[in-house]
Amino acid sequence: MRPRGSDGGHKGLRSIFHSLKTEEIPRLRIGIGDHYTDASDYVLSPFTREEQLHLPFILDQAVEAVRLFITDGIEQAMSRFNRNVLMDN
């Protein structure tokens, strides 16, 4: 989770920022890690079998992060969820 930030090259976010005239938009990102040389090929490819096995857990964690953000604020949610949830299990 991030309370604000740049578009990071994401054209959809750039369009939202342009329309709203602000970058002060909290967001939830589900990361892919940093061990890819060409992430664009990776993120556009189908999930592997191993990734499919982890997907329900990851999505449950995303739902919990959004719930905590709504009920307790982004700082609490960031404190709990800004980490690699797969490494903790």
Residue with tokens 């709504």: 70
Residue 39 lies in a domain: yes
Residue 75 within a domain: yes
What's the pLDDT at 58? 87
Pair of tokens at residue 87: 């490494």
Asked if the model's pLDDT at residue 80 lies above 70, the reply is yes
The pLDDT value recorded for residue 33 is 64
Q: Residue 51's domain spans which residues?
A: 11-81
Tokens of 75: 């700082």
Structural domains of the chain, count:
1
First to last CA, the chain: 20
The 3 state secondary structure assigned to the chain is: CECCCCCCCCHHHHHHHHHHCCCCCCECCCCCCCCCCCHHHHHCCCCCHHHHHHHHHHHHHHHHHHHHHHHHCHHHHHHHHCCCCCCCC
User: Is 22 part of any domain?
Assistant: yes
- The answer to whether residue 87 sits within a structural domain is no
What pLDDT was estimated at residue 51?
Answer: 85
What pLDDT shows up at residue 82?
86
Distance CA 36, CA 76 (A): 30
Identify whether 45 is part of a domain.
yes
For 9-66, write each residue's pLDDT tens digit.
Answer: 888 889 999 999 999 988 887 766 666 667 777 777 788 898 889 899 989 998 999 9
